Amino acid sequence: MLAATAALTILDVSKVGVALPAIQETTGGSGSTVQFMLVGYTLAYALFLLPSGRVGDLIPRKLVFLVGALLFVGASVVCALAPDINWLVAGRLAQGAGAGILMPQVLGLIQRIFPAGERAKPLAMLAAITSATSLFGPVLAGVVMELVPSTESWRALFWINVAVGVVVLPLAFRFIVEPPSVRISGFDTVGVLLLAPAIVLLIAPLSTISKTTPPAWWMLVAFVIGAAFAVAFVRHEVRRAKMGLQSLVDPLIFAYRHLTSGVFISGLMHAAGTAGTLIITIALQQAAGQTALETALWMLPSAAAMIVGSIIVARMPQSRGYRLIAIGTGIGGVGLLAIAASFGSVPTAMLPMVVCVLLVVNSLGSAFSGPSNQARTLAEVPEHRASIAASMIQFSQRIGSAIGMAIALIVYYGWEYETVPVTGQPTLGPTVAIAITAGFLIVASIIASLDREKRVRG
């Protein structure tokens, strides 16, 4: 139940990516508006993660989970019935808020329900389901849009959320039992008021840049103001921690070994995974002439590889954690570089098959690194800090996804059909965009390789 609900929040990134061309055509939205509809979901997701993680440490996590899930499902109804692009954007932002509220509680409940020695398997299962969901999302979207006889078949993608929610939420209410745990007191309201504008002003302007909306002076101003809020937020959090007060982000939690590197690695992995899948999905349709369904089917083997790889990793000793993370992200980075090279050199007729094979390699890398990084990052976090630690991981993932998608979409649409040097292929946009996503994983592999020694708590 927890995994199914978490999967829905990930599914809404990958499946909607397939529908972007259809959504823009039927709603008449501008490129930047449709782009913000996608990135804005992830931005709202990130915005609510840390506050809701702290709320999950204050009151029963099950209650917070149910509230977030209800908001997510209700917002899905708004998206499905949206009369225009503005309503759709509003619904997506509300969906993101619901996802941000419920997701920290999923990891927090796993931390609380399962003993320390038994968490690796449920965490691996959760990582496998959410990762496979991001890959199955395009498949599901392609099938649904092919079967629904309507120019607005994308609306059915949001009704899927409603259907799953109607089944899962009553079961979650009935069967999730949260054991008693230590509760903390106090809520950092000032921290929330500083963090929110920092996130919005630092990232939102990126998501509005497109061919029709080039960078403008106000974006630089927004970035500077957002950076000022971010600095103020960090100083405020450190000051509260020194005073012994509860803070939104407890700086002392970074004393737990591997948490800091794990958070950064997780953000980089999701920047690569979300942006890479999105660009490949769009490019196979626009550059290789595939339909939404054909694109989805070419990506299906990689989803199967993710599931098989995650099952194998779940049986491996966690003492190999950092090696699995470093090797997995390295394999994933090389796989994405090969896909980028394919878009720049392989003939159109062969491109889908080549990409399909290379995506399997990339998925195996993700299967090795994702669950291992999550288990290793949370290994020493105590129960009463479970939700805030989990929300920090999720925060890093959503920020990474938002930044990754924004950068990749800017590059893709900026150089879309320009020719690649040497080969002359008119695919410079996807080639460079996918290469950038590969860079995220290569950096993650380097960080994991350096994190082999135990850290001393300060």
**What confidence tier does 46 reach under pLDDT thresholds 50, 70, 90?**
confident
Residue 11: per-residue pLDDT: 77
For the chain, give the mean pLDDT: 81
Assess if residue 458 is contained within a domain: no
295-340: per-residue pLDDT in tens?
878 888 887 887 787 777 766 665 556 778 888 889 999 999 999 9
pTM attached to this predicted model? 0.78
Q: Does the structure show a pLDDT above 70 at 341?
A: yes
Backbone phi, then psi, for 275, in 5-degree steps?
-65, -40
Sign of the CA dihedral with 39 first, then 45, 46, and 47 last: positive
Assess if residue 103 is contained within a domain: yes
Number of domains comprising the chain = 1
Assess if residue 456 is contained within a domain: no
159-190: per-residue pLDDT in tens?
988 988 888 888 878 777 766 655 556 677 88
Distance between CA atoms of residues 186 and 194, nearest Å: 17
| Weakest mean pLDDT among 46-50, 71-75, 231-235, 266-270 | 46-50
Residue 336: per-residue pLDDT: 93
400-414: per-residue pLDDT in tens?
888 888 888 888 888
Assess if residue 87 is contained within a domain: yes
Both tokens of residue 167? 């089944």
Distance between CA atoms of residues 146 and 137, nearest Å: 14
Residue 314: per-residue pLDDT: 67
366-382: per-residue pLDDT in tens?
888 877 777 777 777 76
The domain that holds 343 is classified in CATH as 1.20.1250.20
| Weakest mean pLDDT among 47-56, 84-93, 112-121, 185-194 | 112-121
**What confidence tier does 456 reach under pLDDT thresholds 50, 70, 90?**
very low
Q: Which residue has the higher pLDDT, 58 or 275?
A: 275
Q: Is 32 exposed, middle or buried (0-12, 13-18, 19+ CB in 10 A)?
A: middle
Assess if residue 457 is contained within a domain: no
236-255: per-residue pLDDT in tens?
988 887 887 777 777 777 77
Residue 98: per-residue pLDDT: 93
Assess if residue 21 is contained within a domain: yes
Residue that is written with structure tokens 């982000």 in the block: 249
Distance between CA atoms of residues 33 and 39, nearest Å: 10
Q: Dihedral through CA 408, CA 414, CA 417, CA 419, nearest 10?
A: -90
Assess if residue 329 is contained within a domain: yes
Residue 354: per-residue pLDDT: 92
Residue 29: per-residue pLDDT: 67
Considering only the C-alpha atoms of the chain, give the largest distance between any 2 of them, rounded to a whole number of Å: 64
Range of the domain at 78: 2-450
Distance between CA atoms of residues 42 and 186, nearest Å: 27
Q: Does the structure show a pLDDT above 80 at 126?
A: no
253-297: per-residue pLDDT in tens?
777 767 778 888 889 998 998 888 888 888 888 888 887 778 878
421-452: per-residue pLDDT in tens?
888 888 888 999 999 999 999 999 998 888 76
Residue 151: per-residue pLDDT: 73
6-23: per-residue pLDDT in tens?
777 777 777 787 777 778
Residue 458: per-residue pLDDT: 40
Highest mean pLDDT: which of 121-125, 131-135, 302-306, 309-313?
Answer: 302-306
| Angle, helices 120-147/259-286, rounded to nearest 10 degrees | 20
Helix residue ranges per DSSP H, 415-454: 428-450
Q: Residues with Cβ < 8 Å from 339, sequence gap 6 or more?
A: 276, 280, 355, 358, 359, 362, 434, 438
Residue 93: per-residue pLDDT: 93
- What number of other Cβ atoms are within 10 A of residue 340's Cβ? 26
Q: Which residue has the higher pLDDT, 255 or 341?
A: 341
141-164: per-residue pLDDT in tens?
878 887 877 777 888 889 988 988
Assess if residue 455 is contained within a domain: no
Mean pLDDT of 226-234: 92
Residue 455: per-residue pLDDT: 46
